[in-house]
Structures are given as C-alpha cells and as structure tokens.
A and B are shown apart, each in its own frame.
Chain A
Amino acid sequence: MAFELFNRLLVCDKEITNMKAEDAAVGYEFYVQYPSYRGTYLSCIEKLEIQIDGQIIDTSRIGFYVNGKEVLVEEFPDLFREYWFILDYASVRIYGDGLKAGSKHGVHVLLRHRIPYTGYFGNYMIEDAVCEKELTVK
C-alpha cells in the first residue's frame, strides 16, 4: 500500500524503440523506472512479468538492461550487488520481431519487489507494482 503511488512510474512514457543490428531487426525495447522513492538491488526483484497487447512475453525473450549490462530475469536473485538507481531508466528488451513504426501497443508490467529494510519483526514487505500504458513505436 505504501508504495502504490509510485506504480505509475514503472512504465516510462517514452516511445517503444525497435532494436536493430545494422539492418537486421532483432526486437524492440521500452523503459521502466523502479517504482519507489529510492533505488534497490536487483536481487530484491522477485518477479518481472511483461505483457504486450495482452500477451505474456516468455522470459527467454527478455533482456533487462541497466548499469551498462544486460541480465536475464532469472538472474535477479543473484544480483545482490547490482544497484538500480531511482532516476535511471532500465531498458526492457524484447527479442524477436520488431514493431511497426507509429503503431500503438499496450505495455503491462508487473514487478514484485521485496523492501529489504522492512524486517522489523522478521518478515519483509513484498509489493506488487503493476503499471499499464499505451506506448507508440518510434
């Protein structure tokens, strides 16, 4: 509850960008911001689920790019030294086909995160941040 108002930050209001390697289309990316008042360690992300136009994207197609590195969703639990600064947009890279320039898409993100300093009585607060926005492809 305490973090609910930050959820709207999760999906950034920036355009979706197609990713290319020279002329070859390799997928597209959009940007996310950590939905809190402070940054966190990537190991505190317990789940990241992406839906584009209502379809869940398999994690094998997702690259999470922050601090100059791309990591897999499955690697989050081990990344307890990787800090995601609150003002840094991370890029969610979806590998596969690109999207048509100018088209609009529903981007739905669920980020489940643990608040690492909240163990007053032994249990940590776990928050589900959900944000959905319609974004245009650049």
Chain B
Amino acid sequence: MSDKKIKLGITLFSLTPYYVTKEWDLERCLKEVHEMGYQGIELVAAQMVPDYPNPSDQWLENFKALLKKYELNLITWSAYIDMGIRTDRDLTEKEIIQYTRNDMIYAKKAGARMVRTQHGITPEVYRKMLPLCKVLDMKLVIEMHSPHHPQVPVWKEYLKIMADPETEDYFGVVPDFSIFQHTPHKLAIDAFLKGGCRKEVLDTIIAMHDAGLGEEEMISGGDYTDYEKEVIADIKHRFSAPAKVEELAKLLPCTPYIHGKFHYITKDCKDPTIPYERAIEIIKKSDFHGYIACEYEGHRFDIDAKEQLSRFVSMINRLSEE
C-alpha cells in the first residue's frame, strides 16, 4: 500500500479509551494499529509522552525503536496552543513561541518531520516560526477543525501565508474532516434519545435541519419540550456552517496530511454525516500524496473503538480503490 496515493495513518488519540485506562500501553497501541493496517501514526505529545513537555532522551530513543519494530512512520508530533494555561491572562507571544519551539525540537529528536499545531498560534507568531522550520528542516502545520472553515477570517490569513512560495516547504494546513460534518452522527442521536428527546420529534428535527431550516423556524413549527429545544439549538450550533467539500480542492495544494475525523462508521463501512465519498474523489483527482490520519472521537460515547477503527480502514481502502 506504500505506493498508493492515499496512505492510511492514525492518530493514537483514537485509542484513548484503551490508553487512559492503562489497558494498552504505548507499545500495545503501536502493535494494534500496525495489525489493523495503518502505516503511519500521529502522536499527541500532551497525551502519550511521559515527562512532557520535556521528555527524556531515553524515552525518545525507545519510542523510535518501537516505531521501527512495528514498521510505522511518525507522520506528525501533535502540539497544542494551550492559550489558557494561566488563570490571570492568555499566553504571551513569547510564551507561544517558546512552547512551539519546544515541541518542534522534541519532535525532531523523536524523528518527526512535521509538527501539527492549532489556530491559536496566531498569524503573526506563525510567520515568526519560519526560520526555526528552516533550521530544523521541519514543517509546522495548522489543523483546521470545526467550527472553523476556510471562510473564517483568521483562516483566510493563514491560507495567504501558506500560499507564499517562501513557506511552501515548511507551512501547511491539516483539514480535519469535522469541517464537513453537516448533521449529527448516530452516537449523538442515541444520546439525544437517551436524554429524553422523542424519536419521532428527533426525526423531524433532523429532517428540518437537513432541509436547511433555521432554528427559529424549526422551533416555531412544533410543540417541543425544553430539552428538545436544547437539542435543536445544539444541532444548529454544531452543524449549521459546514465547509463545502469542494473547498477541499483549494486546500490540498498546501495540505501535507489530512485528519480523517469520524464518530461512527456503519456496518457497511460508511459515514453518513461526513461526505467521505466526495472528499476521496477530490483527493484522487489532486496531486495530494499523503496520509489520511484516522481520528476517531466516538470513544466519548463508550462504544467499541477497535471495531470502528477497522471499519475506517475498510472504508478508506474501498473509496481509494473505487
């Protein structure tokens, strides 16, 4: 599969339920994803790196040896912009630079060629990281995650910076497919029902949402309980401004890899809430050669993660070959 246009990766964040309960240690996580058919991994450093943000050289060497043992590439070292660490104020520019520099240096030591950061870095600081990217010969890429999308003002700035030829080898965007999610997934629907929303009412709410009705219009058209009104507000808040999947084509020239976000893949290996079929079609027609890193978030709903991760492999393999 290594010669294929789309390679399968996974963020180890997807294995959270096994990891945080200590059912699987890091090595077991790597072994499992290797056996499931994933070729590359994304490491969320704040999750899986002991002594973070200053891990030991011994840990880093051991980690590299494990990657070799399980034939996995380190796609990226994922970093945060923990802007709200302090109680009295947000991080200063100096602090953002320091945390980002720190992640980049340890990522380099871990064998990564890329660090994923967050939009909170600010366009000003992002530009200032270019010299370090050149010194380390590394990419610093920003994840575009829901509720953001390409039309958000700060993203227009980021995309302009990424289009500058000087940044071409060093900067980029990681589209997280949450930006295309247009309707609640099965697990959210189950949670709404469990919370007390009547099934026939929920069906109607979702049908109205999918038909493009606004919140006020939806509420005025029915007799809802307070909780059902909350459900309407939640759905409208989270799924009213998805990016158009066609916009992916414009992002791909500066996309080194993609976050394959999902919450629930059906038994026939489809995601009815994110337009994967169309997205993969667009990717196949582009010059993109890289990883789709599976990012499973359904574990927040307490279901079988391993089964979901295997279904994702089947879905991407099927769509890649169609």
Contact = CB atoms under 8 A, between A and B. Distances in A.
A10 to B, nearest CB: 11
Given A2-B300, A117-B118, A119-B120, A80 B20 contact: no
Contact of B302 (A5, A44, A77): A5
A19 to B, nearest CB: 25
Contact of B147 (A5, A9, A120): A120
A94 to B, nearest CB: 25
Interface of A: 2-6, 9, 33, 36-39, 41, 43-44, 46, 77, 80, 83, 85-87, 114-120, 124
Interface stretch (B79-87, B103-111, B122-130, B173-181): B79-87
The dominant DSSP class at the A interface is: loop
Nearest to B50: A85
B90 interface: yes
B53 A44 contact: no
B13 A117 contact: no
A87 B50 CA distance: 8
Nearest to A3: B300
A9 B20 contact: yes
A72 to B, nearest CB: 15
B163 interface: no
Contacts of B88: 77
B16 interface: yes
B47 A43 contact: no
Contacts of A87: 19-20, 22, 50
Contacts of B80: 116-117
A43 B302 contact: no
B44 A83 contact: no
Contacts of B51: 85
Contact of A116 (B22, B53, B83, B299): B83
A83 B84 contact: no
B47 A37 contact: yes
A41 B16 contact: no
B142 to A, nearest CB: 13
Given A87-B50, A120-B148, 17 more contacts: A5-B301, A33-B20, A37-B16, A37-B20, A38-B46, A39-B46, A39-B52, A46-B87, A77-B87, A77-B88, A116-B83, A117-B82, A117-B83, A117-B118, A119-B83, A119-B90, A120-B147
Nearest to B51: A85
B21 interface: yes
Contacts of B22: 87
A118 B83 CA distance: 8
B47 A38 contact: yes
Contact of B52 (A3, A83, A114, A119): A83
B48 to A, nearest CB: 8
A124 B83 CA distance: 9
B47 A119 contact: no
8 contacts: A38-B46, A80-B85, A116-B82, A116-B83, A118-B84, A119-B84, A119-B90, A120-B148
A3, A38, A87, A118 — most chain B CB neighbours (10 Å): A38
A114 B87 CA distance: 9
A37 B120 CA distance: 20
B85 A39 contact: no
Contacts of A2: 300
A55 B127 CA distance: 54
Given A86-B20, A117-B120, A41 B13 contact: no
Interface in B48-87: 50-53, 80-87
A41 B82 contact: yes
Given A9-B20, A37-B13, A117 B81 contact: yes
Nearest 6 CB-CB pairs, A to B?
A116-B82, A116-B84, A38-B47, A77-B87, A38-B46, A124-B84
B302 A114 contact: no
Nearest to A126: B84
Contacts of B148: 120
Contact of A86 (B47, B53, B82, B90): B47
Contacts of B46: 38-39
